[in-house]
Chain A
Amino acid sequence: MQRSKELIEQGHIWTFPGGIHPPERKYAAAEPIRELPLPERFILPLRQHIGEPADILVKPGDTVLKGQALTNSKQHGQLPVHAPSSGVVSSIGPARVAHPSGLADTCIIIEPDGDDRWGERQAYADYRNHDHATLLNHIQQSGIAGLGGAGFPTAQKLALQKPLDYLILNGVECEPYICADDRLMREYAAEIISGAEILMYLADIPKTLVAVEDNKPEAIKVLTEALQDHATITLRVVPTRYPSGGEKQLIQLLTGREVPSRGLPIDIGLVMQNVATAFAVKRAIIDGEPLLQRVVTATGEALQQPGNYWVRLGTPVAHLLNQAGFQAEPQQRVIMGGPMMGFALPDLTVPVVKITNCILAPSSRELPDAEPEMPCIRCGACADACPASLLPQQLYWHAKAKEFDELEQQNLFDCIECGACAYVCPSAIPLVHYYRKAKAEIRNIAREKAQAEVARERFEARQQRLEREQQERLERHRKAAEARKQSQAEAAKTTGKDPQDAVKAALARAKARRAKQQAQSSSDDDS
């Protein structure tokens, strides 16, 4: 560990297995980030992060100000959303959101009034005079989630109390086409660095490594200059290879450490944040701005002005694309995210959310349609490309045969779904698709098993309760009978009469009556 730390300090760059070199096509990085005019309406899904939606604070017809919280996060796992501009809440209800399933989720619809009037803002420019809890709560209430793609609430990540060696600031952005972080680093390096300082203060981290891929020379230049007088924040340039920006891969590159399976970076003394998240933290703490907008790369040959835009959260994709000069071809594909991990949108009403880093509208020339899926020839190109050292083809065979035990044995859940395997597959098999499906099925089985377990426990508890109740009833009856016997015995003692005599007399009377009846009925038969 000590030796490895020395190597980290020396700036050693480790390597990771596999990886691919797809065409980079980051041509949208040429232009500075542009502002986007306000759309006609904002569609704000309540859930834009990993966790539960927060409670709604507004109702249709309410007037809201820019930056006003629309939902209120009270519980762990909730994260609020804010009004991206001033306007009126026109409705609240289900609308299609950015999810591969194309399903609807609850959204707050806001029609902006065009004034873009700010509400009350709370800043902590002197953050070193405030305690961690206050600042973490502020970050939480500012709605900040990891902007790199996962959308994990940032304050929750920082609140995990464990000793940390390094904060890693991820500016690698390894997926083709996407250059939102690249532009942000070029234009806002100082603010990103202040964000990193706040993060270091909040989680008591002594040092920060800022990682950038070597295909971004301008960002590297700007950061090198900006970091000249920072002793605790250093720049690390990593070779361009997809998926070097994956959390686990970047950790391996910078520290040689591996996040244990099913563990977190924090288990090995590291925490990673995206550069855009650091920027958002700076804006929230220093300027009092909640997370209202982000940089989105709008790119692809179907756009006349590809570039990066400041896009307010909730802006429909159609609005962004129209501003970028969208000219759809027949059978156009529009992808949210990059070509490797993004998903195709069913329509363009879906809004840009916190984790949207790219909208890609490719021509069929630059990204041709996938070829029909062919049988696997076990060539092993996928295994050579896998950054997690999995055997993708074995996973594929087992996924196809629904051999879930085998899949877990082959560590399906260590797959990061980067798509490198599917990219190199000569048989055009959508491998990641198979893995996602198998993972979902395994999770379903586990959930059903857990439910069955709960049901069994409840059933057993009920059985026990019934049995206990029966025992108690019997006991009660027994006691009652005993008490009765005792009282009868006592009565007999006091009156000198056996209470059984009365019973015997009653039996004799009944017998006589029956005999009489019988005699009568037999005489009726005779007649």
Chain B
Amino acid sequence: MTFRIAPAPHTKPARSTGQVMRLVCYALIPGALAHYVIFGPGIIIQLLLATITAVATEFLFTQARRRTSHNTLADYSAVVTAVLLALSIPSLAPWWIIVIGTVFSIGIVKHLYGGIGQNIFNPAMAGYVVLLVSFPLQMTSWPLPAELSNFSVSFYDATQLIFSGYTADGYNVQQLKAGVDGISMATPLDTLKTGLSQQLTTPEITNNPIFSGIAGVGWQLLNAAFLLGGLALIATRVISWHIPVGLMLGLAVPALIGSAIAPDQSIGLFMHLFGGATMLGAFFIATDPVSAATSNRGRLYFGLLIGFLVYVIRTWGGYPDGVAFAVLLANMCVPIIDKYSQPTVYGHKGSSS
């Protein structure tokens, strides 16, 4: 009888790539639920659209690259990219926004670089940035949080808005954005940014119903939900704490200094941490292993860099939020971070190499 030969170790991985990616999806459930509660049922349609597009793109590109699409689809990485992108864009954006973004993320950013594991840039964030610079109007048209809005958007309305641009009653997204006082309102970070650039002080700007709470209605809940999911990822050891902690430190320290120096001209610590895309970025986007640094020390540096860049972009840059740009810039620095953050190998203590 012949016996089967296999290389050591003769075990099965405790957790496969597919399982890791599925765990990331599960950890995004609190965030997605919060999204649904705050911004309405549009997110469901966006998630569906993104997932279908991602799987189809993944399938077509693996076919074109003559790879086995079964294994590639089974690793769920395309689904994670799709879900992250869907959660990043305004939930009532037209259908073609998410479709273009997802095709770009999966097809160009991931597969043209050689598929999973080979991409330099975070696919979801590269897709997001392409959408943001190409379609700025659609990409900044966030609906008002439900509790501030005059209109409650039903699932039917959301479908109508996403696929035709108007609800059955003939309203478009811009009209739905009008707040209780009839004035169109942007996101808290955007409002702050615009206000500060008009020489208003922070207390003047935040004297507005959208700023109730610590970081703006809705957004603080959304960030708390992502924080919850992110802590679950750390607890289940899907990610290490280094990148999220680095990112938050890199953002919080300059924010505290900024607030101390010029409290009336700065965004404030809680606004930085719980406004915008901070928590989603810290726990789910910057932690994408493929495009992040390798060693734990490197990951800490990588996180710090992203956090600092987010602060810089929010404070002096042209965009109200900066997570996507910061992540892409840090992605470019990964090779050099890796080079200078190698741990000391056993037996090399005290030697120069």
Mutual binders A and B: yes
Chain A interface (Cβ < 8 Å from any Cβ of B): 16-17, 22, 102, 248, 252, 258-263, 328, 331-335, 337, 339-348, 360, 362, 367-372, 374-380, 383-384, 387-391, 393-394, 409-411, 414, 419, 422-428, 430, 432-433
Determine whether the beta carbon of A378 is less than 8 Å from that of B346.
no
Q: Is the beta-carbon distance between A383 and B11 smaller than 8 angstroms? A: no
Q: Closest chain B residue to A434 by CB distance?
A: B7
Which chain A residues lie closer than 8 Å to B2 at the CB level?
Answer: 346-347
Determine if A424 and B13 form an interchain contact, defined as CB atoms under 8 angstroms apart. yes
A379 CB contact (under 8 Å) in B4, B8, B20, B296: B20
Given A369-B12, A411-B348, A419-B8, also A374-B17 (CB < 8 A): yes
Q: List 13 A-B contacts (CB under 8 A).
A: A22-B11, A260-B347, A344-B3, A348-B3, A370-B11, A374-B17, A377-B116, A380-B289, A389-B346, A391-B342, A394-B294, A414-B346, A428-B16
Chain A residues within an 8 Å CB radius of B351: 260-261
Q: How far is the CA of A369 from the CA of B10 in the complex (A)?
A: 7
Residues of B within 8 A of A (CB): 1-17, 19-20, 71, 75, 77, 115-118, 240, 289-290, 292, 294-296, 299, 338, 342-349, 351, 353
CB-based contact A387/B13 at 8 Å: no
For A389, what are the chain B residues with a Cβ–Cβ distance below 8 Å?
Answer: 343-346
Complex contact A347–B344 (CB within 8 A) = no
Give min CB distance, B100 to chain A, whole Å: 25
Instruction: Determine the chain A residues whose CB is within 8 A of the CB of B19 once the complex forms.
Output: 426
Q: Which 5 A-B pairs have the closest CB atoms?
A: A261-B347, A375-B117, A379-B289, A419-B9, A388-B346
Instruction: Give the docked Cα–Cα distance between A513 and B296 (Å).
Output: 101
Complex contact B347–A423 (CB within 8 A): no
Considering the chains assembled together, what is the distance between the CA atoms of A297 and B348 in angstroms? 36
* Smallest Cβ-Cβ distance to B242: which chain A residue: A380
Q: Which residue of A lies closest to B18 (CB)?
A: A426
CB neighbours (8 Å) of B20 from chain A are 377, 379, 426
Chain B residues closer than 8 Å to A409, beta-carbon distance: 353
The answer to whether B292 and A427 touch across the interface, beta carbons within 8 angstroms, is no
Give how many A-B residue pairs fall within 8 Å (CB-CB).
Answer: 168
Q: Are A362 and B10 in contact (CB under 8 A)?
A: yes
CB distance from A411 to the nearest CB of B (A): 4
How far apart are B7's CB and chain A's nearest CB, in angstroms? Answer: 4
Provide the residues of chain B in CB contact with A328, threshold 8 Å.
Answer: 1
Which chain B positions have C-beta within 8 A of A376?
117
Checking A375, A378, A419 against B294 with a beta-carbon cut-off of 8 angstroms, the contacting residue is A378
Contact B3 A345 (CB under 8 A): yes
A379 to B117, CA, bound (A): 9
| A374 in contact with B75 (CB, 8 Å) | yes
A22 proximity list for chain B (CB < 8 A): 11
Q: Nearest chain A CB to B60's CB is how many angstroms away?
A: 18
A258 touches B347 (CB 8 A): yes
Q: Contacts A394-B338, A430-B7 given; indicate if A248 touches B347 (C-beta within 8 A).
A: yes
Cα-based distance from A410 to B339 in the complex (angstroms): 10
Q: Which residue of B lies closest to A260 (CB)?
A: B347
Query: Judging by beta carbons under 8 Å apart, are B3 and A332 in contact?
Result: yes
A328–B299 Cα distance when bound, in Å, is: 47
Interface contact B5-A371, CB-CB below 8 Å: no
8 Å CB contact of B345 from A263, A393, A414, A426: A414
Closest to B115 in A: A375
- Residue picked from B3, B15, B294, most chain A C-beta under 10 Å: B3
Cα distance A394–B349 when bound, in Å?
A: 20
| B-chain residues with CB within 8 Å of residue A362 when the two chains form the complex | 10
User: Known contacts A388-B345, A389-B344, A390-B345: does B8 contact A341 (CB below 8 Å)?
Assistant: yes
Question: Is A344 within 8 A of B12, CB to CB?
Answer: no
B32 to chain A, nearest CB (A): 23
Q: Known interface pairs A374-B17, A374-B75, A383-B295. Does A414 touch B348 (Cβ–Cβ under 8 Å)?
A: yes
Q: Which of A339, A380, A426, A427 contacts B240 (CB 8 A)?
A: A380
Q: Is the CB of A378 within 8 A of B289?
A: yes
Cβ 8 A contact of B16, one of A347, A371, A393, A411: A371
CA distance A380 to B297 in the complex (A): 12
Q: Cβ of A393: which chain B residues have Cβ within 8 Å of it?
A: 294
Contacts of A433 in B (CB 8 A): 7-8
What CA separation (Å) do A525 and B3 show in the bound complex? 94
Besides A389-B344, A423-B11, A428-B12, 19 other A-B contacts (C-beta < 8 A): A16-B346, A102-B5, A252-B346, A333-B3, A341-B8, A342-B10, A369-B12, A370-B7, A375-B115, A377-B116, A378-B289, A379-B17, A391-B295, A391-B342, A410-B342, A422-B8, A422-B9, A428-B16, A432-B8
